[in-house]
Amino acid sequence: MTGCEEPDRTVFSPKGEAGEGSLDVIMLSIYIMTFVVAVVLAIFIYVLIRYRQKPGDNSIPKQVEGSMKLEMLWTVIPIILLAILAVPTLTHTFSLAEEAPKDEDPLRVKVTAHQYWWEFEYPDLGIKTAQQLHIPTDEKVYLELTSDDVIHAFWVPELAGKQDLNPGSTNKMWIDADEPGTYEGRCAELCGAGHALMNFQVVAQEKEDFDKWVEKRKNPSSEPKTAEQKAGKEVFTQNCMSCHAIDGTQMKTKGEKAPNLTGFAERNKIAGLLENNDENLEKWMKHPEQVKPGTYMPSFDFLSDEDMDNLKAYLQSLE
């Protein structure tokens, strides 16, 4: 409850139907627990005062063993309270895993977690991206979640509850946002050295803006224009292409083991973490392990300053 760095980025300020449903369940359990604590405390204080030893009275109170009435009472009341809690909790949890409706052609996204980054694929749109999941507002987006290595968990506190991503199987959930904005996401399952920094963002956009983003992503402008960018592409081809893919150029590699860098200039964070600017980009490329311990991106501190500058110019031209 108190662990989030920004005060309103929590489950207590939901920005969509899924998040609101979760908050309702959380509040119901808080009310029930508050009620139980209050009743128990009241009885406790009453008993402390009412039955404490009176001055001059050393008699031993009447000894009672086993009371059918009390035993029944404190067994039945918790059962009733748990039943009141269980019904909405289960209903909500199962509704979050609801299947995408076949007839309506909903937006589906395949989410694959990797140590320590996120891959987002839109199978019906033919788009692949990383670290930032774009979604349209006011629409349920159906996620199919899986992992490439160990168990991770997908969590965007403002939008929905947590869901595990397991290697070799697929879990389903839907999310929705009713306001445009950038929502912070975290990996919520200890997955290795870089776990605490395995951040991502959900970028919710009005439907038109989202459609524009899709168009742009389908026809990315990744041809270098300036001399610097051209030289940067060379450096990229030699050093980075074995892992990273950029669509829209000839260099369509497998690139499954590292984030797809198409449209990189438009991401507002690098590796889900650092503000996207030239300084941080250089810091990341030179010493990624200092930014995110355990990361599988190798260090490129051996590149000359000129190569580095060209590379930055090229990457920041990818729209």
Gap between the Cα atoms of 216 and 270, Å rounded: 20
Residues 131-190 that bind ligand HEC (CB under 6 A): 131
Tell whether residue 165 is a contact of Cu ion (CB under 5 A): no
CB nearer to Cu ion: give 173 or 191.
Answer: 191
Gap between the Cα atoms of 153 and 185, Å rounded: 10
Distance, CA of 41 to chain centre: 38
Which segment (1-9, 63-71, 151-159, 293-301) binds ligand HEC by CB under 6 A?
A: 293-301
Q: Calculate the alpha carbon distances from 137 to 22, 141, 203, 206, 210 in Å.
A: 19, 9, 9, 5, 9
For residue 13, which of 142, 22, 5 has the smallest C-alpha distance? 22
Tell whether residue 81 is a contact of ligand HEC (CB under 6 A): no
Mask of contacts with Cu ion, 188-227, x by CB under 5 A? ---x------x-----------------------------
The entry of ligand HEC, Cu ion, none near residue 191 (CB within 5 to 8 angstroms by kind) is Cu ion
The entry of ligand HEC, Cu ion, none near residue 203 (CB within 5 to 8 angstroms by kind) is none
Which segment (5-13, 72-80, 200-208, 240-248) binds ligand HEC by CB under 6 A?
A: 240-248
Stated as kind and residue range, the H or E segment containing 112 is strand 107-114
CB nearer to ligand HEC: give 11 or 133.
Answer: 133
Gap between the Cα atoms of 180 and 284, Å rounded: 29
Gap between the Cα atoms of 190 and 71, Å rounded: 41
Tell whether residue 187 is a contact of Cu ion (CB under 5 A): yes
The entry of ligand HEC, Cu ion, none near residue 200 (CB within 5 to 8 angstroms by kind) is none
The entry of ligand HEC, Cu ion, none near residue 152 (CB within 5 to 8 angstroms by kind) is Cu ion
Task: Return the amino acid letter for 177.
Answer: A
Tell whether residue 259 is a contact of ligand HEC (CB under 6 A): yes
The entry of Cu ion, ligand HEC, none near residue 231 (CB within 5 to 8 angstroms by kind) is none
Stated as kind and residue range, the H or E segment containing 110 is strand 107-114
Tell whether residue 78 is a contact of ligand HEC (CB under 6 A): no
Tell whether residue 267 is a contact of Cu ion (CB under 5 A): no
* CB 232, min distance to ligand HEC, A: 9
CB nearer to Cu ion: give 136 or 157.
Answer: 157
Gap between the Cα atoms of 131 and 137, Å rounded: 19
Torsion sign over Cα 143, 144, 147, 148: negative
Contacts of 254 (CB under 8 A, 6+ apart): 245
Residues near Cu ion, by CB under 5 A? 152, 187, 191, 198
